[in-house]
A and B are shown apart, each in its own frame.
Chain A
Amino acid sequence: MKAPTPPLPKFARPAPPRPNELVDDQGRPARPTIPDQARKAGVGVTSWVEERVGLSPFLRGFLFRKVPKGTNWFYTLGSATMFAFLSQAVTGVFLAMYYEPDPSRAYESASRITNEVFLGEFVRGMHRWGATVMIVLIFLHMGRTFFFGAYKYPRELNWIVGVVLLILTMAMGFTGYLLPFDQRSYWATVVGVNINASGPILGPYLADFLRAGAEFNASTLSRFYAIHMMLIPGLIAALIGVHLYLVAKLGTTAPPWVKAKKKELAKREL
């Protein structure tokens, strides 16, 4: 005869199944499947963060806001410009790992990126062509805003912020052009700085500020480098934040060919 096994102490006993818990055919709690576990872990982490930052009302309003009827592919040009900027920021940060902003080293380090560094040609090419893409996209985005009349009340401030972003993007193009430090970039910068100098009263001072002196000198390149990779990107990122906030706050406009139906308007006004 088999002696009865002593009962397990309380802490070692399996917990009875909870309501809605998976059980096997003997009523014991079943091990949840791996996808279930993953889902649970994901929900757990998300809700842990959410409980502490409380961002979901904002994100819900921002990501799931209503857009007018007739919204089309032209409305993606702004996001496309922003992704061009992000791509520039990321490739630029990694290019900075190899680039040396010193007049005697700049050209060699830039050609080293292209010719020797693994994938260097690709990353530099992305940055170089991405710059052009960003300029093209920002102008298309501006054209869309203009032709759809999306700059009108109450969105004038967003138009102004957008124009400042356009100018900053052009300034990025100007300061970045010097960095390869070949004949073309050197002379383009000389001419570009002198164009700044041709402005009345403040022009000569602006040119001296850009060159860090009366002649193109040892600090000019590092000055352009600092403006190109710290000053303007910071300003652009901050202004993109303002731009997006205003877009979410004010909503987007319907294309001009979509007319509100008079009947519906009348009903709403009643």
Chain B
Amino acid sequence: MSDRTSKTFQRKSRYTKDRGIPGAFEGETVTRRAFMTGTAVAAGGIATAAFALPTLGFALGPIFERTEPSRWQDIGPEEDFNDTDYVPRVINIVPEIGEAGRTTIYVRRYNPRIDGEANSDQPYVAISNRCMHLGCPVRYVSASQRFICPCHGGVYDFQGKVFGGPPVRPLDRFYTRVRNGRVEVGDRFSLNSKLERFSPRDPSNHLDGLWQYLYPSRPTI
């Protein structure tokens, strides 16, 4: 009994010569059939990878490349703006697609009485109209001094902080500067609820508490 079991468990020799394969060489461990199979599979794999990997990279590339070059846009002379109410302006964020690449911003002068120390290096407050719930366009209602989103009822206060509804963080802003008495608008940045600056994120991405670690920044910014 034990004899038989030991026989079943005896493994075949790893040398082709010991296994009596015709034409086997001394010390050969890989049969020619196994070698040819391996070669064919490897060749097929290399050929597939040769077109699959470049096309995959081609499709995924935009994730890893910076698509918005820094550009400053003139939005008018300093006299057009005040520090108590917003003035709407239309800027191009993707100029090459025409109307679809434009967006509205709401601009006022930085006011230490309202804004305190947050973002005091910015001469102007340029608020993006992109709702931080799912990206619908908010509008500023000056009677109530609130930004209101038409889609799901997001409401933001005068500083763009969340006042009610589903949005997860304050409205994005754009960098501003003054050149020769004219106001210029640059890149977008995002804010958390304390109005601390972050690289631009998509709407619906949280930037507070532990939530912020679930929404990484873009690899390139």
Contacts and interface: CB of A to CB of B under 8 A. Distances in A.
Contact of A215 (B67, B151, B215): B67
A209 B60 contact: yes
A214 interface: yes
Contacts of A187: 136-137
B218 A217 contact: no
Given A104-B97, A217-B96, A195 B218 contact: no
B20 interface: no
Interface residues of B, number: 30
Interface string B40-63: 000000000000000000011011
Given A214-B200, A218-B94, A204 B218 contact: yes
Given A207-B202, A209-B63, A213-B62, A104 B94 contact: no
Contacts, number: 86
Nearest to A197: B202
Interface in B186-217: 200-205, 214-216
Given A191-B135, A212-B62, A197 B204 contact: yes
Contacts of A213: 62, 65, 67-68
Contacts of A252: none
**Interface extent on A, as a size class?**
20 to 34
Main secondary structure of the interface of B (DSSP, over half): loop
Given A186-B100, A201-B214, A194 B202 contact: yes
A205 B214 CA distance: 12
B125 interface: no
A103 to B, nearest CB: 4
Given A104-B97, A217-B101, A218-B94, A191 B216 contact: no
A212 to B, nearest CB: 4
Interface string A149-192: 00000000000000000000000000000000100001100110
Interface in A79-128: 103-104
A194 B131 CA distance: 10
A214 B67 CA distance: 7
Contacts of B215: 200-201, 203-204
B136 A103 contact: no
Nearest to A201: B214
A198 interface: yes
Contacts of B137: 187
A191 B136 contact: yes
Contacts of B101: 215-217
B87 interface: no
A186 B101 CA distance: 11
B93 interface: yes
B202 to A, nearest CB: 4
Given A205-B63, A217-B67, A200 B151 contact: no
A33 B201 CA distance: 78
Contacts of A215: 67-68, 93-94, 101
B140 to A, nearest CB: 19
Contacts of A218: 94, 96-97
A256 to B, nearest CB: 42
A198 B203 CA distance: 8
A196 B95 CA distance: 25
Most B CB within 10 A of own CB, among A186, A201, A211, A213: A213
Contacts of B93: 215
Interface in A205-260: 205, 207-209, 211-219
Nearest to A227: B59
Contacts of B201: 204
B98 A104 contact: yes
Interface string B164-204: 00000000000000000000000000000000000011111
A191 B154 CA distance: 14
The 3 A-B pairs at the shortest CB distance, nearest first, are namely A213-B67, A198-B204, A197-B202
Given A187-B136, A200-B215, A214-B218, 5 more contacts: A190-B136, A191-B134, A204-B205, A213-B62, A216-B101
9 contacts: A186-B100, A191-B134, A191-B151, A195-B204, A204-B201, A212-B67, A213-B68, A215-B67, A216-B101
